[in-house]
Amino acid sequence: MRTKRRRLTTSTVPPVPPTPTTTIASLPDDVVADILLRLPSPTSIFRAALSSKHWCRVAVSPSFVRRIRELHHFPALLGHFLSCINSSSLPLFQPVDLHADHALAAVIRRGDFFLTRLQDSGQCVLEGCHDGYLLFSNRTKLTIFDPTTHHAVYLPSPPRRPAPENDYVAHTFCLLRDSGGANDQGFFRVISLQHRNRSARAEEYDSRAGEWRAHPYTAATPARSHDNRYFPAMHAAGRIYWKYSSTPLLLCLDTKTMRFSYVGIPAGVSPRSAYAVGETEDGTCCLVHVCCGSEGGCLQLQVWLHGAEAEPWVLEREQPLLLRSRAPVGGRARQVRAVVAGLVLVCFNGSSAHLPHVAFRLKNLKVEAEFTCRGPARPYLFE
């Protein structure tokens, strides 16, 4: 009897590779952002972001900040950096009362808000505080510092240009975070405002190129003088504004086209008035003016929104400035220091060199901080 032979067959199906192990560190940025946005409150988001440097980087990225503002409208004030007048020493940090919010208090404890890493940098000037980053300058270099992560970036100062352009003066530096949406990787730009005779220009440092690039001059009217100096830069809706001290104009730089223009200030607002340009809670460009009212001398709050070219400012609301504050808010406002994400910082006249400052929300006039200092103060928001 003939036995049947079994035909041997070989399988052509490749072996199934083992499933890779998924860890917190291996999650892509968009997945981490979706996880954080599903948490019930901004405090829980900040607490979860502190679990790793990767998650913290996602939480402070401009694209994530825009999404969390749309959901929670919660840029959290951590404190203020206080600088002394005519001093190049590092600023002091004045934290707000965070006893009720342990997650935000942990951000300050784990961060370097007292700038210990910069103690060996020599004499520095705080040029700006924007999008969670500090910008310092000295004679040879600029320093960009993130106090929440202890991360510092150093870059050279703008080079001196050969004649006939060697007589410019850099009035101020300002930092711009990259806002390229989901693909932003921590790129940044630094803008140097420069003035020569009756013209102005911006010189730009792009971290992608790693070098300074000078833009063409733009006719500047009025020309800068010692009595017509620039104030610190004010960021609002993709533009940077500078005040003059004796001219009712604002110098405006469009950060996309890098072109200058001039914007008049509203009627009833003088160059010496207490006002500043900034953003509301939803990112709309606004001008906040604090003045004395005609009835009884009560302080009045005016909020002007950015309008069209024919009417650059439109009055959105005017109301008495009634703050539950220990500061003498019934007196005269000395200056509006900043308007950032709907937070307004106002400096009032005082009986001593240490002037009272009050920070309040533009939406509901809720006071969030009170302190005194002799020099400029800049709010620091963890968004």
261-303 residue pLDDT tens: 889 999 899 988 999 999 998 889 999 999 887 655 688 999 9
Taking 60 as the threshold, does the pLDDT of residue 9 lie above it? no
- Please name every residue paired with 137 in a beta bridge, in sequence order, or none if there are none: 125, 142
pLDDT at 298: 82
Q: How far is CA 258 from CA 200, 222, 244, in A?
A: 12, 19, 20
pLDDT at 95: 92
Strands 211-214 and 218-219: unpaired
pLDDT in tens, 149-167: 899 999 998 887 664 555 5
Taking 80 as the threshold, does the pLDDT of residue 148 lie above it? yes
Among residues 54, 132, 121, 129, which one has the least CA distance to residue 90?
121
Taking 70 as the threshold, does the pLDDT of residue 225 lie above it? no
Length of the chain: 383
Taking 50 as the threshold, does the pLDDT of residue 182 lie above it? no
Euclidean distance between CA atoms 304 and 286, whole angstroms: 5
pLDDT at 179: 52
pLDDT band at residue 24 using 50, 70 and 90 as cut-offs: confident
pLDDT at 183: 43
Q: What is the mean pLDDT of the chain?
A: 81
The residues, ordered by sequence, that sit 6+ positions from 359 with a Cβ below 8 Å of its Cβ are 77, 80, 343, 344, 345, 346, 367, 368, 369, 370, 379
Over pLDDT 90: what percentage of the chain? 29
Pull the structure tokens for residue 64. 């994530």
- Name which of 59-68, 135-144, 260-269, 370-379 the model is least confident about: 59-68
Among residues 207, 186, 188, 210, which one has the least CA distance to residue 54?
186
Instruction: Assign a CATH topology to domain 29-382.
Output: Neuraminidase (2.120.10)
pLDDT at 330: 53
Euclidean distance between CA atoms 134 and 145, whole angstroms: 5
pLDDT at 184: 47
pLDDT at 307: 82
Q: How far is CA 60 from CA 50, 142, 174, 242, in A?
A: 11, 22, 19, 27
**What's the pTM?**
0.78
Q: Kindly tell me the burial class for residue 95, based on how many C-beta atoms sit within 10 Å of its own C-beta (0-12, 13-18, 19 or more).
A: middle
pLDDT band at residue 181 using 50, 70 and 90 as cut-offs: very low
Taking 90 as the threshold, does the pLDDT of residue 318 lie above it? yes
